[in-house]
Amino acid sequence: MKLEFDLNQYLEKTKNGSDYFYTFINRESLAVGVLTLQPGEEDTQTPHESDEVYYVISGNGFLRIKDNDYKVSKDKLFFVAKDIEHYFHGNTKELKVLYFFGGPDS
């Protein structure tokens, strides 16, 4: 099992691939990945079956959780409970986020 990861490698995959996110650890008890959202790009994620934590690497914008918008900026951390609607929006700079699921990425 791989124990060391280069985030830049996975962020590049989101820029050059067809998906704006990439899960690089996906186990029964934990999933970890990165998300890169360009200005004007739509975050199409749907509620997840596990709790989730987001860590903002860089960028700006907002994270809508239920009916509330939370300002996104470098080094902010957000918790989203399972089955709760949420998505990033309104970024004017490239947004890079590290995410953690308390279970597999579903």
Q: Does 106 fall in a domain?
A: no
Nearest to 40 by CA among 64, 61, 25: 61
Q: Does 70 fall in a domain?
A: yes
Q: Does 1 fall in a domain?
A: no
Q: What is the CATH number of the domain that holds 70?
A: 2.60.120.10
Structural domain count of the chain: 1
C-beta separation of 25 from 32 below 8 A: yes
Q: What is the pLDDT of residues 74-106, one digit of tens each?
A: 999 999 999 999 999 999 999 999 999 999 886
Q: What is the pLDDT of residues 10-34, one digit of tens each?
A: 999 998 888 999 999 999 999 999 9
Report the predicted TM-score, pTM, of the whole model to 2 decimal places.
Answer: 0.93
Enumerate the β-bridge partners of residue 55. Answer: 77, 98
Q: Does 80 fall in a domain?
A: yes
How many other C-beta atoms can be found within 10 angstroms of the C-beta atom of residue 40? Answer: 9
89 lies in which domain range?
Answer: 7-101
- How does DSSP classify residue 28? S
Q: How far apart are the first and last CA of the chain?
A: 21
- How does DSSP classify residue 30? -
Q: Does 11 fall in a domain?
A: yes
